[in-house]
A = this chain, B = another copy of it.
Amino acid sequence: MSLPSVSLDVSGERFQVVYHIRGNEKEALARAGAVCLEQTVEIPDDLVPEGDIRSQIVGRIESFDQVENDRFETVISYAVELSGFELTQLLNVVEGNSSMLPFVRVERLDLSTSLRAHFKGPRFGRAGLRERLGVARRPLLCTALKPVGYGPSELGELAYRFALGGIDMIKDDHGIADQPFAPFRERVKCCAGAVERANRQTGYKCIYVPNVTAPFDRLADQARFAREAGAGGLLFSPGLAGLDAMRCLADDDRLSLPILSHPALQGSFVLSPDFGISHFALHGQITRLAGADAVIYPNWGGRFGYSREDCQQIAAGCETPMGGIKAIFPVPAGGMSLERVPEMAKTYGTQVVFLIGGGLHKHGPDLVENCRYFRELAEQMEPGDGGER
């Protein structure tokens, strides 16, 4: 028995998702078939209406290949219309219910041309961010205002010294939100003012990047306030407040500010090789699609569980061709130090943002000098340094 069939007006255009599926060949193939139903019609195969729903709406296995013992790669295609041409529902088709399957992992997205055309992606991308910061070739430099608990004046003073030392982007620590120690508006005014003051002295184009991650009903106001107060970019944690909220910030012509994406609450997606989403797809492709110009993630060898290969995959996802969607900067971070810059440079090349937070305080007693040293390290890199990926 199946449900009644209907005729559908679909274009026939499909987008593809590459999944890795664990199991022996028979299990994995059955699981791939289950994904085709799970991500679309959500009914057992024997209930699927014949005709257009079976032939167009149900996911279609385009290929199925063994990649290693008990692991298969399958490409499943979906009608572009299923996405509703919106990010929330696109994510749902890619990995909504599959996120609850312990043996299916999203490896890569291959969006079709017409689907990509519905997404503007990053407003600035690498070239636009370089232009805004006046940095043609070397890696960009970023640091974080911390710790949470400091008031606007302490944070402003730190921002001033970082900017004086030649840092390009000074972001709030992502845990600095709208707490009573440093209320959002007061803090943003103070830090933006401090950076502007330093820029007048140095002639640099350093930007202050406040954290605007906020409750749903306050986000637009906070972002607008930040812009008016002189922020040069926005820090946003899509894991906390939604990938599509970030897309809205990126698409807003009245804001028109570069966006740094922070990975808070996103780690569970990537930590298992068996389920979730790959580093490449989540921190690279999906973050780009959601409008970030640069994506922060924990570098290998720091405090977190990402390997060097994971990080290289993120960097690759930041620049893999995606039609009109601009390439963005990888921002390896999380316990980085000045000592590790040469090693990071070797891996990432010059198309990278180095983010050093606490480590900048540790090099020597003078914070401004430490920043200058950081900048010198970056300036020594050859423009042709392409990194290893």
Contact = CB atoms under 8 A, between A and B. Distances in A.
Contacts of A150: 6, 53
A216 B99 contact: no
Interface stretch (A80-88, A198-206, A315-323): A80-88
A361 B3 contact: yes
Contact of A267 (B47, B101, B213, B218): B101
Given A53-B149, A217-B248, 6 more contacts: A47-B362, A86-B214, A88-B214, A96-B237, A100-B306, A268-B275
A125 interface: no
A180 interface: yes
A358 B47 contact: yes
A102 interface: yes
A154 interface: yes
A52 to B, nearest CB: 7
Contacts of A40: 147-148, 175
Given A88-B215, A88-B241, A264-B97, A102 B305 contact: yes
A265 B95 contact: yes
How many copies of this protein are present in the complex? 2
Interface string A20-61: 000000000000001000111111100111001100110000
A268 to B, nearest CB: 4
Contacts of A4: 154
A148 B358 contact: no
Contact of A47 (B39, B42, B306, B361): B361
Contacts of A42: 144, 146-148, 173, 175, 357-358
B180 A100 contact: no
Interface size class of A (residues with CB under 8 A): 35 or more
Contacts of A64: none
Nearest to A262: B96
Nearest to A56: B149
Interface string A310-341: 00000000000000000000000011000000
A123 to B, nearest CB: 16
A201 B230 CA distance: 61
Contacts of A225: none
Contacts of A271: 100, 102, 272, 275-276
A267 B144 contact: no
A147 B82 CA distance: 12
Contacts of A214: 86, 88
Pick from A41, A88, A102, A304 the residue with the most CB of B within 10 Å.
A88
